[in-house]
C-alpha cells in the first residue's frame, strides 16, 4: 500500500507542477466563470467550484507533504554522508534533525558562539559579496 501511494503521489506531484496543469486549472475556472450567467449565479453554481477546489486542495496537501518528506529525507541523507566523509566535520551532527526545537535552537546558539560574533559574520559576508 505504501509503495503504491508513493508511486501515485510522485506522479501526481510531478504532473501538478507542470505548466499544463496550471493551464487546465485556469481553464476550469474560466469555464466556471463564463457559465455564471447561464446558471444565474446560483448557489449550486458557486457550490460546484467551492467543492471542487476544496477536494483538490485537501488531497494535494497529503501528496505534497509526502513528496516533501521524501525530499527532506534524501537531502538529510546526503548531508549526513557529507558530514561523515569530511575529515574535520563532527559526526555528532548526523541525526540532529531528530532533536526537539528547543535542542536545535540551543545547538545553533552554541555553534554561533564558537564561530564568532555577528559583526565578524557580517564583515565576512560583505567581503565575500565584494569579491564576486
Q: Half-sphere exposure of residue 102, counting CA atoms within 13 Å on the CB side?
A: 0
Element (H, E) at 73: helix 43-85
Residue 39: which residues within 8 A CB-CB, separation 6 or more? Answer: 45
pLDDT in tens, 55-109: 999 999 998 898 888 889 899 999 888 888 887 888 888 888 888 989 988 988 8
Q: Is the pLDDT of residue 38 over 80?
A: yes
Residue 16: which residues within 8 A CB-CB, separation 6 or more? Answer: 60, 63
Q: Is the pLDDT of residue 39 over 90?
A: yes
Amino acid at each position: 500500500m505504501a509503495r503504491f501511494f508513493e508511486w501515485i503521489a510522485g506522479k501526481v506531484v510531478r504532473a501538478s507542477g507542470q505548466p499544463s496543469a496550471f493551464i487546465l486549472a485556469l481553464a476550469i475556472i474560466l469555464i466556471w466563470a463564463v457559465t455564471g450567467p447561464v446558471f444565474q449565479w446560483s448557489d449550486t453554481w458557486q457550490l460546484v467550484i467551492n467543492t471542487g477546489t476544496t477536494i483538490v486542495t485537501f488531497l494535494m496537501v497529503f501528496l505534497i507533504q509526502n513528496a516533501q518528506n521524501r525530499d527532506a529525507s534524501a537531502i538529510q541523507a546526503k548531508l549526513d554522508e557529507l558530514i561523515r566523509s569530511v575529515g574535520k566535520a563532527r559526526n555528532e551532527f548526523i541525526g540532529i534533525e531528530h532533536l526537539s526545537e528547543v535542542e536545535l535552537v540551543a545547538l545553533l546558539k552554541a555553534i554561533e558562539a564558537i564561530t564568532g560574533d555577528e559583526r565578524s559574520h557580517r564583515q565576512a559576508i560583505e567581503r565575500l559579496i565584494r569579491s564576486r
